[in-house]
Structure 1
């Protein structure tokens, strides 16, 4: 009996010791919240990290001292950058909590294949880290931006990605897409624009974040951007649109209406005949009317049908135009048409995949839309109109 107790005690001690092997005390680590990577003129990389200051996360933090500090390092590759950064810190770098990775445009246009190997190979990399391109700027410039609503400024970027439901791409998503067949990566892009913070004279010329573009990649090189509206259509085509907003002009009724998209889906049907490829994209969705800037009385269901028809016509036209533009300008299949052909007709895909860029660029794409507008809130006319102004 006594021998069994000793054995059990030894097992427990072994488990406890094994569990403590890789434990990192908060006082021993430099917790990286965000990082950026850019390309220097001499071909070397420059990386910047945003490191939390734990002592300033507790109690009164309104003493004019930041909750973080930034540090930079340079090197011929990402590992060398990290080693130089470590040489400037009194605590061990801890990247497993990193939330955002920002890539400067210059590096993105040259290509990110080399740095991606570092992130995929390092077991401490947080694969849920959001990856974004900083449009027309260095990634380090975005890392320096102050943002008063969050403890760490770059946390605002992550929250905007989640809240707005835009092109939120993580390292895992990027690696999966890059290694897949028949699809090219696309990720969120932020701009640094003038911001104004009331009550602070020093803040008048400061910059803030604006998330309203998507970055198009081909062979892991940045080739162009989609604006906010086209990004929304692209997400609908790829089946990733969670929520959207559309303003529809009704010229015959001298105004516009605002529609919120709540539920969307898509189906892509590929067809190959005589070596020529075509795709039919079926878009479906439901939404609500959230703004009425016309004189229409939406108690009349016919006006709901009018908005539905207008939305379907506009989305069909604009989506086909957006796809054709991507085909002509970039020949980058960011929609995953090739992936759908791969899944639904692998025999034909094997014949076409080595020349897919050219085939995609010449593919005929047809779009049809089925949309249902659901009534919500007050469905009548605008309350500020007089009776004689209302169109019933």
Structure 2
């Protein structure tokens, strides 16, 4: 009985302490922020928009249903002041934990984002998995106001487009890790608003849609320029973040090409230091399948597969060297993390080179080696429309 009494006292004590979630909020009392945008005003202040979900509209599929979200605005000298300006306009408390996406206008990005990103790590409700995108050639407010027909909330469309991009994404976590790291500069996804192919009716304005258009290059948290989608694919291959991709291989006759889909990729960076000179050997490995061919080749013949592999390796090698040299000369921004690799593998050399790393990176020698294997050539050897005499064995 004494033992049972002690157990009872313990259970009572636990129930007193475990009173549930102290900061719990009822769903009917909060305004769910799904996305936000930031732009730079002429007076130096920041203009922000919040995309807020309207839950009741998201379950109403009738033609008469209005938008499943609305947008509220604020202006301030920092992000928290923007939120404070938005809150008095809302009947519910603004809740930022569900934010999927942050759009940053190009003008603000070029000025620098150092003064606006602290809020997103310091606020306990902010999520580091939120995607961060630069609106190429435009403003964040234009992106957040763009509708998308396949999703209830446009920010969800952008999130899904990012997820489908084969690893070419950037979140707050990626941004903070690179910004605070040794020998690496941040990159963020770039998005454009492109005209929809659907013709407008009457006097309606031309509708625009989202287009993930590559990578925004930063240095000291200031936007310098962009990489297109092809170079972005190479960047993520080098850094080991590429999940999928497509390579179009032009064959020696320059008239025909083969489309190869990447199913596996790996990038290895090996630094060597000779005095004040640093060299980086990059080894790229990959596997893929042939998903389209406008050649007359019979891919059931291993010889033809081997030819495609060699042409692909040469193409990737040439374009990777071109990409790295362009970034070295034009931007001098170590977006590849070469310095980070040197820091991890040769701390003594890094300590010596760190003070002038920007110059050392721009002058570093680069070599690239590529190993690629075509694992499958699709359902057929030659294209089925070819006659026997047209097939190249």
TM-score, normalised via structure 1 length:
0.95
Q: Offset of 1:4 from its aligned partner?
A: 5.2
Aligned to 2:381: 380
Question: Which deviates the most, 145-154 or 158-167?
Answer: 158-167
The CA deviation string for residues 267-307 of structure 1, in whole angstroms up to 9 with x for no partner, is 11111112111110011111111111111111211110110
For structure 2, the 5+ residue unaligned runs are none
Match of 2:16 in 1: 14
Q: How does 1:8-87 map to 2 (within 5 A)?
A: 8=10, 10-17=12-19, 19-87=20-88
The 5 A counterparts of 1:1-392 are 7-8=9-10, 10-17=12-19, 19-197=20-198, 205-252=206-253, 254-392=255-393
How far, CA to CA, are the matches of 1:55 and 1:227 in structure 2? 40
Per-residue CA shift, 1:120-171, capped at 9, x if unaligned? 1111111110111010100110000010101111111111111121421111
Paired residues of 1:197 and 1:204 also in contact (CA < 8 A): no
Q: CA RMSD in A?
A: 1.8
How big is the shift at 1:202? Answer: 7.4
Q: How far did 1:250 drift?
A: 1.3
Paired with 1:386 and 1:350, the residues of 2 have a C-alpha distance of 65
Following superposition, the deviation at residue 57 of structure 1 comes to 2.2
1:196–1:203: 8 Å Cα contact kept in structure 2? no
Assess, with a 3 A threshold, how the Cα gap between structure 1 residues 390 and 115 changes in structure 2: closer, same or farther: same
Paired with 2:379 and 2:234, the residues of 1 have a C-alpha distance of 28
Return the alpha-carbon distance in structure 2 between the equivalents of residues 59 and 4 of structure 1.
55
User: Residue 115 of structure 1: SS of its match in structure 2?
Assistant: coil
Cα distance in 2 for partners of 1:202, 1:346 equals 64
Q: Give, in angstroms, the shift of residue 376 of structure 1.
A: 4.1
User: Per-residue deviation at 1:58?
Assistant: 2.4
Alpha-carbon distance in 2 for matches of 1:230, 1:79: 36
What are structure 1's unaligned runs of at least 5 residues? none
Deviation at 1:251, TM superposition (A): 4.2
Instruction: Work out the CA distance in 2 between the residues paired with 1:6 and 1:273.
Output: 72
Give the TM-score, by structure 2 length: 0.95
Find the aligned partners of 2:186 and 2:58 in 1 and give their Cα distance: 36
Distance 1:59 1:14, change over 3 A: farther
Deviation of 1:12 after TM superposition, in Å, equals: 4.9
Q: In the aligned structure 2, how far is the partner of 1:253 from the partner of 1:276?
A: 39
Query: Structure 1 15/55 Cα, relative in aligned 2: closer, same or farther at 3 Å?
Result: farther
Distance 2:387 2:185 in 1: 54
My pick for the range that moved more, 246-255 or 95-104, is 246-255
Tell me the secondary structure at the aligned position of residue 284 of structure 1: strand
CA distance in 2, matches of 1:171, 1:389: 54
CA drift of 1:15 comes to: 4.3
